[in-house]
């Protein structure tokens, strides 16, 4: 919100925001958010690919159907209703 509401009246060393006639501060913030989001997605995707080379990241379809509690721990998380 600083990119919108910043005002040099409160901080003479700072910058004015969008409402005070300077959209560059807001554009810098939007650029930083977009770059950070792209970086986080790319890094996470790369890490998952590397981890997948050593151990499976996703369980099988049968394990998904049975449920992780039962397939990996041998426990039932919830009572089956209507069976």
Tens digits of residue pLDDT in 45-73: 999 999 999 998 888 898 888 888 888 88
Specify the pLDDT at position 82.
64
**pTM for the whole structure:** 0.64
Per-residue confidence band for 35, with pLDDT thresholds at 50, 70 and 90: very high
Reported as a pLDDT band with limits 50, 70 and 90, residue 83 is low
| DSSP code per residue over 15-74 | ---GGGT-THHHHHHHHHHHHHHHHHHHHHHHHHHHHHHHS-SS--HHHHHH-HIIIIIS
């Amino acid at each position: 919100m600083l990119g919108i509401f910043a005002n040099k009246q409160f901080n003479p060393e700072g910058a004015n925001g969008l409402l005070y006639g300077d959209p560059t501060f807001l554009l810098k913030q939007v650029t930083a958010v977009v770059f950070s989001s792209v970086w986080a997605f790319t890094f996470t995707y790369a890490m998952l690919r590397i981890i997948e080379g050593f151990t499976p990241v996703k369980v099988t379809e049968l394990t998904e159907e049975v449920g992780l509690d039962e397939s990996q721990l041998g426990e039932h998380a919830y009572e089956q209703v209507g069976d």
